[in-house]
Amino acid sequence: MKGLLFVGSLISLLICSIIMIVLSVRMNQDMGGYLARASHANTIEMAVSNLEPAIAYIEQHRLTDGYTSVLWRTPDEDIGYWYQNLKASITELQGISPDSSLLERTNVLMKLRETLTRDSGESGTSIVVPDGLSRYPSNTLFGFWFWLSFLLFAGTGIAFLVEY
């Protein structure tokens, strides 16, 4: 019985981990990559053309409000603030007239880059996205599933080690 529980918890842990990885990769492909490209855009038009599909993905998947946290709410997990910030950025970009000065256009692009990225120290910059967004709104389910599988796996593994 312990062996069956050990193998079952290992399989459950692997399936949970694989699903979370796949969700993260898909979100990066469908949204994160566009945000990264928008942050590196050299023209207003390029920035807007990359922000639009990212915001469309966010709206299509209803990632416009709530918190990604499971136990407590922290500002870095506030989806609503993050989404409103992106919407404000694209509105500002679309409001720049074609005859605006180069300085004005550059300042708006720099502001966009500061909005979309954070300095990660030695590892460079990263795109600002609330932690756990790829699993939202099922963060509690994935957290429970992962930790239950892990604890069962660890518990039965320790029981095997003690027995032998």
Arithmetic mean of pLDDT, 72-86: 94
Instruction: Provide the CA 61 distance to its chain's centre, in angstroms.
Output: 13
Give domain limits for the chain.
2-163
DSSP 96-117: S-TTS-HHHHHHHHHHHHHHHE
Say how many residues make up the chain. Answer: 164
- Give residue-wise pLDDT tens across range 126-161: 899 999 999 999 999 999 999 999 999 999 989 888
pLDDT category at 86 given cuts 50, 70, 90 is very high
What CA–CA distance (Å, rounded) separates 46 from 42?
A: 7
As a three-state string, the secondary structure of 39-73 is HCCCCHHHHHHHHHHHHHHHHHCCCCCCECCCCCC
Arithmetic mean of pLDDT, 26-41: 96
pLDDT category at 78 given cuts 50, 70, 90 is very high
pLDDT category at 125 given cuts 50, 70, 90 is confident
Looking at the predicted structure, is the pLDDT value of residue 104 above 90? Answer: yes
Beta bridge partners, 117, equal: 127
Report the pLDDT value the prediction gives residue 123, as an integer from 0 to 100.
74
Report the pLDDT value the prediction gives residue 102, as an integer from 0 to 100.
93
Q: What percent of the chain has pLDDT over 90?
A: 82
What phi and psi, each to the nearest 5 degrees, are found at residue 78? -85, 105
What CA–CA distance (Å, rounded) separates 66 from 112?
A: 23
Q: Residue 118: helix, strand or coil by DSSP? A: strand
Task: Determine how many CB atoms are found less than 10 A away from the CB of residue 67.
Answer: 20
Arithmetic mean of pLDDT, 100-125: 89
Report the pLDDT value the prediction gives residue 30, as an integer from 0 to 100.
95
Report the pLDDT value the prediction gives residue 164, as an integer from 0 to 100.
78
- Dig out the tokens for 150 from the structure: 């892990």
DSSP 119-135: E-GGG-EEE---TTGGG
